[in-house]
Structure formats: structure tokens, C-alpha cells
Amino acid sequence: MCGIVGCIGAENAYSILIKGLHRLEYRGYDSAGVALLNDNGELNVYKSRGKVNDLERFCESKDCSGSLGIAHTRWATHGEPNDVNAHPHCCQNGTLALVHNGTIENYAVLREALEQHGCSFRSETDTEVLVQLIGYIKQSSGCSTLEALREALQQVVGAYAVALVDREQPDCLYAARKSSPLVIGIGDGATFLGSDASPLVEFTDKVVYLKDNEIAIISRSEPLKVITNDNTPGKVDIKTLKMSVSQLEKGGYPHFMLKEIFEQPDTLHDCIRGRIVDGKVLLSGVRDNEEVFRSARRIIIVACGTSWHAGLIGKRLFLDLARIPVEVEYASEFRYSNPVVNRGDIVVAISQSGETADTLAALQIARERGAFAYGVCNVVGSSIARETDSGTYIHVGPEIGVASTKAFTGQVTVLAMLALAVGQLRGTVSAEQVKEIAASIKALPGIIRTTLKLNDSIRHLSGIYTYVHNFLYLGRGVNFPTALEGALKLKEISYIHAEGYPAAEMKHGPIALIDNELPTVFIAPMDDLHEKVISNIQQVKARGGSVIAIVTEGDETIATMADHTLEIPRVPECLSPVVSAIPLQLLAYHIAVMKGRDVDMPRNLAKSVTVE
């Protein structure tokens, strides 16, 4: 939530900052702003409600010169999205400008105290409180900006990633983090800053991931220096970035979401590569921790949103293949539930971004209570990836569209491989079973390629349902979470209300909703529960509801009952969510496009939820 960009030493900082903001816009897009220090020592701050394009238009007639600057794209937490609440914010005398990602929980108390000391506030934000606090400490004690920043960070409670410019220090930029990500890119003569690596990728592949409670002193002429909030020198650990610019562009597609849906044959190929060898699953995270997995008493999966849905599927896979008791928890609930966690428990944190605040906190709690922490993340070097004992990356490349698509199929595929690898180790799956499922996993990229051929018929189908107000999604067993995921996709990008249920639960309440205005999407592949799902379809049809059914190719029974069928290739039951997710993603996408929605940046949402 919120994107930060910074730059020092480049000739035209403004263009770098704006380009970086576009890259980070998926993190928040209700307002944006930039602060630039020009060669005359003036600190120019420009802010605008709306997207980065609006900021650019606003800046057209302004002085945007300077080689040092910070910029921000916002997802509002304190105060409505408007020009005043947009970042950067300045201290009382205007010498300091700050951008912030996170939330300062004790901002109200601090604000009141600062007001008593004569500070007057322009915005409703917690961020202005922080920069006013830094300014006040600096002025009242006569200390340096760095000292004031350190002192202020010790007083705030909450999460932050900040970048700070001091008009009186034209050769320096400060950055600090706690629970919100920041990456520093070390270029040739210039240094860059970003909430993730995407704004830095075309300038350098040398990056430093700032750690919690660290402050970076980024100077024009001196090497990067890192200290902790209590003034201990920190380590500058330079890593090599493996990301290319082309991965961050639309590649001819109208939206990132469609590009990411169509990328799935390749992303799954990358996800599986090197992990299935001679009919067996090889995951280094399991191989390096065999005893932990062999003796595991329980798995606790923590995640949010789509990742939580993948976790529910993972539960079925671990139960079936590894015979370990599994609990799946919303990370946001788990963290405040005083959970019983023991040694011998494994906490699996699933997160595309690796930065979701609730998932990170849940993971930390489970770990403190003795669990072994395993991560299933996409973003390499992300906070969750770094805070786990071990893990498996899904390796599906940067996901920019706010609606998660390729990350979901990557997560389920990794969870299938993980359950299989642990089952192999514990002797709970036969060699035959491993061989069969492993071969099917290897075949997934080709199967997804075939499934994507449904695109045209789904576009046509979407035209029929564009103006419906409600949708029901039903599935059973491993495809109940797929139904939840289908409903989430539709509601987040089309703003149509949609509910997912286990198909058999329908008769306990939701059936009351069925009429000719409520379409139901059934996920009904040929599996052990196929006959049961057929009965559920008949119940809907008997009440005048229309049915869109996702079925295994050649399923003539459902074809005679449903209004529309979408045929997917046959795969083992445990992998069917990966395949049935494709038509659900396409259905949500086309309906949203037909409704004229902003598919990649739906209202009120942000890609990476780094606040509570």
C-alpha cells in the first residue's frame, strides 16, 4: 500500500521518479506527489489527487529540475484522497519533506502534543505528524536531521517505510523502514530507492533490502551507510537483482491482468522447472529440513485473500498426500487469536508479495511460539521470504494486476509439489501415485495453454452476464476454495456482488436467493463428488436459476442441464483448481472490461496490503 520512489545523483530526477511511480502505481493510486530539490536549493513539492498521470499533468508547467527527489503514490489510510492529504508532507518551516508507507498508530497523541508546541497541521494524515515531529525535534534540540529522524522513529508506534529530504542537506537522502518494504538500488553515480525493485531495475542490478529498524544514509559522494534506530552500524548487504524491464511491461496486452492470465503456461513452467526429476518431487526447502517435515505434528497455514484460498486447497492436498493435520487461518484473525502453537508445528505463510502486514505478523507470532516457519512467496527477498526458516518460491515473475491470477496457480502448484514431497518423505503416498501426479504437474503448462483457448467463448458469454447484479459460485472438495477465488475475482474487478459456497451448503440458506436473475457458476470437474454436484445443479435449475458450469471435456450429462458449459482438460483431482481457475479469471476479466472497469487498478484496492 503506497509506493515510494527516491533518487539522488541522476541528472533528471523527476523523470526517474515519475517512471518509478508508474511502476509502483499498483500499490495505491488515489493521489500522488513529488518533492524535488533544485540547483538553487529550492525544495519544490507538487501533489495531486488521482493517478500518476494527473500528477504529471499538474507538473507540466512547474519547475521540475533537480537531481534529488522523493515521490509517492498513495492508498489512503488517514484522511480522504485529495491534494492536501497526498504525500510528500513537510515540517512546519518547510525544510523537510517526507513520504511514508504504513501507519503511525499513535499519531493522534503525537499530533496533540505537537499542536501544543505550536505546530499547525495542513492535512489529516499520520505522515504529516511524523515529519512535523522530526522537524520539531530538530529545531527544539538543535540536533542533526539524522538524529531527529532517529529520535522520532523511536517515538512512533506502527509501521513505516519513509524517505526524507532536507533542503539544507542537498547531498543526502534518508530512508528508514519498519514492517514496510524499501529497496535501495546502487547505480553508477546515482542511487535509487523504491518500495520494491521495479523502479530501479533499468538503472542497476545491485540492490540492498533495508531491514526493520534500519536507517539508510544515501549520499551523493559517499558509499551507502546503514545504521539502526539505536545508532548501531548496520550491514550493507548488496544483492544481485534478477528482474528484467520486459517483465514489468504489458507486452501488447490491453491490461496487465490479461497478460498475466495468458502468461500462465510459461509461469507454471518456471514454477515447476528443476523441481520434478525422474518422477519425483525435489524441493530444497523440504530436502534441507527432512526431520522437521518427517516429525511435523501439525501445519498451520496463514494467508490473506487469494493466497488464503490457495491455502485452503493446500490443506486438502496435505491431508490427502502427507496425512498431516492442517489448519488454515486468515492471518488477520490468527494474529489476534492467542493461538496455541507448539514445537513440532510448521507455519506455512503464503503471500504473493511477501509483504502483507497481517501475514507477516501471523508468521512472526507462530515463530515466536516455537513453530518452524516455511514461506510460499513470489517476490524474492521480500519480508516474509526473509523471516521464514525455509521456503519455496513460486517463481511466476512480477504480478502487477491487482487481481491475483498467475500467483494463485503458482501457489497451488507449489503446494501440490510440497504436499507430494512431504508425502514421499513420510511414506504416505505410493511411488506410483507420486509418479502419476508429478507427471500431471509437469504437463500443466500445456494443459493451461489448451484451456486458454476458451477465451473467445468466455468473452462472448460475458456479454450475456455483464449487467447482472449478483453471482453465486459453487464447488465441492478441492474446488470449494476455487469457487471462493472465482467470486473474489469477479467482485474485486467488476464490483458485482459474488458469493462462493461449498455446493452442498446451498440448501442450508443460499438456495433462497435462486431465481432467474441470479446466475450460478458451478466448478464441476469429473471427480469423486461429480454426481453430488450434478444434484446441486439440478436444484438450481429447478428454481429457475441459470447455470454456467466448468466441466471436464466430454461431460455430456452436465451439458444437457447447464445453460453454458466451459470444458477444461482432465487432470488429477488435486490439480483441478489450477485448471478451473483459468475460465474463472477470464470470466471476471471480460465482464469487468465490458462494464468499463479499471481492471488493473480497481477502486479502493491496492496490490500489496502493507497496513493492518
The phi and psi torsions of 266 (rounded to 5 degrees) equal: -75, -40
Task: Classify 235 as helix, strand or coil.
Answer: coil
Tell me how far, at minimum, the Cβ of 338 lies from ligand M6R, in Å.
Answer: 23
> How many C-beta atoms lie closer than 10 Å to residue 280's C-beta?
14
Give me the least distance between CB of 135 and ligand M6R, in Å please.
Answer: 34
| Closer by beta carbon to ligand M6R, 169 or else 195 | 195
- Please, what's the b/e burial string for 301-316 (b: 16 or more CB within 10 A of its CB; e: otherwise)? bbbbbbbbbbbbbbbb
Kindly give the interhelix angle for 431-451 and 576-594, rounded to the nearest 10 degrees. 20
The dihedral sign for the CA sequence 85, 5, 242, 348: negative
**Shortest distance, CB of residue 8 to ligand M6R, whole angstroms?**
29
Least Cβ distance, residue 591 to ligand M6R (angstroms): 15
Smaller CB separation from ligand M6R, 197 or 609: 609
CA 1 to CA 54: how far, in whole Å?
19
- Core vs surface per residue 181-201: b (16+ CB within 10 A) or e: bbbbbbbeebbbbbbbbbbbb
- Closer CB to ligand M6R, 305 or 445, in the complex: 305
d(CA 130, CA 174): 14
DSSP state string for 328-388: EEEHHHHTTS-----TTEEEEEEESSS--HHHHHHHHHHHHTTPEEEEEESSTT-HHHHTS
Q: In whole angstroms, how close is the CB of 611 to ligand M6R at the nearest point?
A: 11
Q: Which is nearer to ligand M6R, 191 or 404 (CB)?
A: 404
Compute the least distance from the CB of residue 585 to ligand M6R, in Å.
10
Let me know if 271 is a catalytic residue.
no
The strands making up 326-330's β-sheet, listed across from edge to edge, are 326-330, 298-303, 345-351, 372-377, 390-391
Q: Is the CB of 45 or the CB of 493 nearer to ligand M6R?
A: 493
C-alpha distance from residue 189 to each of 9, 10, 34, 542 (Å): 6, 7, 22, 71
Please spell the DSSP secondary structure of 155-185, one letter per residue. Answer: H--EEEEEEEEETT-TTEEEEEEEBS--EEE
- Considering the candidates 2, 119, 172, 377, report the single residue annotated as catalytic: 2
Select 276 or 609, whichever has its Cβ closest to ligand M6R: 609
Decide the pairing of beta strands 214-219 and 191-194: unpaired
Q: Which is nearer to ligand M6R, 304 or 444 (CB)?
A: 304
In terms of CB distance, is 208 or 360 closer to ligand M6R? 360
Q: How far is the CB of 608 from ligand M6R (least distance, A)?
A: 6
List 47, 51, 138, 607, catalytic entry? 607
The residue whose Cβ lies closest to ligand M6R is 305
Whether 2 is catalytic is: yes
Q: What are phi and psi of 258, to 5 degrees?
A: -65, -40
The beta-strand segments (E) located in 26-95 are 31-37, 43-49, 68-74, 89-90
CA separation, residue 48 to residues 32, 45, 605 (Å): 6, 10, 19
With respect to ligand M6R, which residue has the nearer C-beta, 90 or 396?
396
Q: Which amino acid is at 205?
A: D
- Residue 405 CB, nearest approach to ligand M6R (Å): 8
Reading phi first (left if > 0) and then psi (alpha if -120 to 50, else beta), residue 395 is in left
Distance between CA 351 and CA 303 in Å, rounded? 6
The residue whose grid cell reads 487469536 is: 337
Compute CA 418 distance to the chain's CA centroid, rounded to the nearest angstrom. Answer: 21
Residues engaged in binding ligand M6R (CB under 6 A)? 304-307, 351-353, 356, 359, 402-404, 488, 492, 608-609
Active site positions, annotated:
2, 607
